[in-house]
Structure 1
Amino acid sequence: MNIDMLVFGEDWGEHPSSTQHLITQLLPEQQILWINSLGLRRPRLNSADLRRAWQKISKMIGQAGQHQVTADSSATANSLPERLQIVNPRAISWPGNPLARSLSRQLLTRQLLPLLGESGQSGRKSPLLWTSLPSAVDVVGKLNERACVYYCCDDFAALDGVDHGPVSKMEQELASKSQLIITASSKLAAKFPDHKTWLLPHGVDTSLFSTPAPRADDLPTDGPVAGFYGSLAGWFDQQLFAVLAKLLPHWTFVLIGPAKTDITTLLAQPNIRWLGSKPHHELPRYSQHWDVSLLPFLQNPQIKACNPLKLREYLAAGSPIVSTDFPALDGYRDLVKVSDCAAGFAEELEVIYRSRQDRNALRMIRRQRVEKESWQQRGQELKSLLDAL
């Protein structure tokens, strides 16, 4: 089978990233070989890393010898798109170790080259290589690709869970080897050469988030509710959130998403409820029905470079938003209440709740702001960039 594009991204079927959203737009026209995540840090001797290592090893063993690659049980609850194949990579996660990088390059090329089939042979067009991860740099130029695209959505020099020094060096190598660099924010774009760098802001699934959805059964109904969904990680301002809950004891604060750090401080508050992770397609059942959506981020380099998907998703749901300040709010500041302290958040929440008579009109304004920023539109912009290669 002829492969049009190799994509190095996160594990397919996890909470969908911008990479998954964009590549999905290309599937009707292209045969995609998706390579699940390559590590960005050396493993540590803790239960979480050991469990993830075992999951990776199990997937690789289960896939050994297979040339027709299909979804594993964790990939997605639905069947894979027809033109998408998934590979669990054989690689060693140790970004700063030259031997590990060399071995990974050999393992990956031996694994992937046979899967490319007729790509690049007998007059067929060679595949395009797309990576969202600097750790794929070692196979750039080794897979008979016609060009390399680096899609940068994070500041890897500041991102949690990354070996910053080695990964930053790998990113510099990748930038020099790439023919096209696409970034999700202007701050990220400033890191790379102007002549081959393009800004492509995130999109939103306008149909999913704007279409009325029934209220989730586990969403509290006793009094006003404010909510946040996303990873509860180092960039989430737990102190602000906990103080906010104390200031507004008559409100219920809902958290949805995996806990990537210790959240016992949050769970100690009686009016904070953590509902765990939810499938992406169920999120409108929460964001359309709670009273206010929250973006309580810390002020750090990672957040200054980010362009969170949930900002546009909240707007598409029509939800009021209260947020800490960060650059990606530009273009939406007239629709977002901004404060950098818990007292300011509390004041804004109370004002929003008291002004409920204008809710329907404001919901329509928020939705209209992002209706032309769908992933379909972003996919068309991406196709134009790729065609130019």
Structure 2
Amino acid sequence: MSTDDANGRSPIVWVAGVGWDDIPGTDRRMAEALAALCPVIWIDSPQKLTWSGLRSRRTHASEQVGENLQRVRVPAPPGFSRWPIRLLTAVIHRRVIARSLPRGTVPRAIVVADPVMRFPDGVPGPRLLYVTDDWLAGASAGLMRYAESWIRGVLSSNAQEADAVAAITTPILDQVHTLGVRTGTPVAIVPNGAPKVERVARTRRAIAGLVGQLNERLDLPTLEAVVDSGVPLRLIGPRFDRQAEFSDRLDALIARDDVEWTGSLGSQALAAQLAEIGVGLTPYAESDFNRASFPLKTLEYLAAGVAVVSTDLAASRWLDTEHVTVTTSAAEFADAVRSRASAVGFEGEAIELSRIELAERHGWPQRAVEFLALADRAAVFAGLRGDGRA
């Protein structure tokens, strides 16, 4: 198998909470960063297929998607997330994982980053639980496609079976602790990382930019306050809003003369936008799910040399930098944006470079090193327990 390289390094088995073809987020970015250090076998979240589709794709279940990175599809029957069909889904999932490994191979770690998939029985190797969002709060708020009771049961079982636990923020790690992590289990905060942003000629303007999906997680009153303060607003990303009241209000915001919506952009066009905006916005609505999140956009702004104004998020406070202004109200947010925008044209090259250097210290390559260190601690812990999994 292509994931067994010449040095015989054991692969990381990554049980993803999304499909490889979904919008790239924490799962995929971490897997790609890890693949620069060791082989990775990415296990897709189960995807619904008809039985005829299952037969036709059986011979195409695995593909190479990058150097040292193999993607494995997991077919699932119709109704795969419903009781009792999800028991069959779990059996299929477990068998796919087992067959993805060469005979006799013990993974460096089995990473579960899926809210509803258990660690696979019968597959050896240290077990690392990676919690990438407050899944329970997301289910309670209707943001997840699974019932909160199901997620809680799976998360509790995985927490108790894990040889190590990682989470992207402290609130999430604290929550997992309450679900039964065993005494002595290695735990760590492994936050999201900063991407590489293509450097293009900068043409900074005193405008605010919001990069990412436009949906109900955003705080529209905060964005409205920014525009009311006299700062032009540019929205950069696709719409995924579903609630009628939110959609009507977003329509009204986009229709304003001093608001521009670009829609979804490719990497080069996005880099050009990041080279033009004067301040990047991370305006999340008040909710348990949002407070525990680590928005990728914050680090993306910094990687482009852009100052950030954020609502009150644990991740923004964790960064603890003058380049990210954390606010607690819409008025305070708008004031901070106006202040940052007014500085455009007066900041020197050194200030932008300091933001880029900060992002590089928090880049995905560094996160992958931290993650592998935790995986190796998981192997030690599993060995001390002597259960034969490591």
User: Shorter-chain TM-score: what band?
Assistant: 0.7 to 0.9
The 2-side partners of 1:274 and 1:127 are apart by 45
**Cα distance change on mapping 1:86 and 1:96 into 2, 3 Å:** closer
1:130-141 equivalences under 5 Å are 130-137=111-118, 140-141=120-121
Secondary structure of 2:222's counterpart equals helix
**Letter paired with 2:25:** S
Is the contact made by 1:153 and 1:184 (CA closer than 8 Å) also made in structure 2?
yes
1:161 match: 144
Secondary structure of 1:202's counterpart equals coil
Question: Percent identity at matched positions?
Answer: 20
1:149 to 95, 118, 128: 128
Aligned residue pairs: how many? Answer: 351
Task: Give CA-to-partner distance per residue, 1:139-159, whole Å, 9 cap, x none.
Answer: 5224x2312211111111112
1:19-168 equivalences under 5 Å are 19-38=27-46, 61=54, 64-66=57-59, 69-70=62-63, 80-91=65-76, 97-118=82-103, 121=104, 124-126=105-107, 128-137=109-118, 140-142=120-122, 144-159=123-138, 160-162=143-145, 163-168=147-152
**Letter paired with 1:375:** W
The 1-side partners of 2:87 and 2:347 are apart by 61
1:127-276 equivalences under 5 Å are 128-137=109-118, 140-142=120-122, 144-159=123-138, 160-162=143-145, 163-191=147-175, 192=177, 193=181, 195-196=184-185, 197-205=187-195, 208-209=196-197, 211-213=198-200, 224-248=206-230, 251-262=232-243, 263-269=247-253, 270=256, 271-276=258-263
Is the contact made by 1:38 and 1:135 (CA closer than 8 Å) also made in structure 2?
no
The 2-side partners of 1:161 and 1:286 are apart by 31
**Letter paired with 1:202:** N
Structure 2, unmatched stretches of 5+, are 5-9, 380-390
* Shift of residue 127, structure 1, vs aligned partner: 6.0
The 2-side partners of 1:359 and 1:38 are apart by 49
Task: Give CA-to-partner distance per residue, 1:287-315, whole Å, 9 cap, x none.
Answer: 23211111111121112211222212211
* Shift of residue 57, structure 1, vs aligned partner: 5.3
Task: Give CA-to-partner distance per residue, 1:46-90, whole Å, 9 cap, x none.
Answer: xxxxxxx5xx6599548623166227xxxxxxxx21332222212
**Cα distance change on mapping 1:252 and 1:386 into 2, 3 Å:** closer
**Letter paired with 1:354:** S
Task: Give CA-to-partner distance per residue, 1:203-255, whole Å, 9 cap, x none.
Answer: 212xx22x522579xxxx9x74211112223321123223433443x613323
**Letter paired with 2:43:** I
2:386 match: none
State the superposition RMSD in angstroms: 3.0
The 2-side partners of 1:322 and 1:114 are apart by 47
The 2-side partners of 1:93 and 1:280 are apart by 36
The 1-side partners of 2:56 and 2:239 are apart by 27
**Letter paired with 2:24:** P
The 2-side partners of 1:58 and 1:345 are apart by 52
1:366 match: 355
**Letter paired with 2:191:** P
The 1-side partners of 2:315 and 2:99 are apart by 42
**Letter paired with 1:11:** G
Is the contact made by 1:185 and 1:306 (CA closer than 8 Å) also made in structure 2?
yes
Secondary structure of 1:212's counterpart equals coil
1:382 to 368, 371, 376: 371
Secondary structure of 1:203's counterpart equals coil
Secondary structure of 1:182's counterpart equals strand
Structure 2 length as normaliser, TM-score? Answer: 0.79
**Cα distance change on mapping 1:385 and 1:317 into 2, 3 Å:** same
**Letter paired with 1:90:** P
Is the contact made by 1:266 and 1:272 (CA closer than 8 Å) also made in structure 2?
no
2:326 match: 338
**Letter paired with 2:375:** L
* Shift of residue 104, structure 1, vs aligned partner: 0.7
Is the contact made by 2:307 and 2:340 (CA closer than 8 Å) also made in structure 1?
yes
2:285 match: 298
The 1-side partners of 2:234 and 2:52 are apart by 38
Bigger mean CA deviation after superposition, 56-65 or 363-372? 56-65
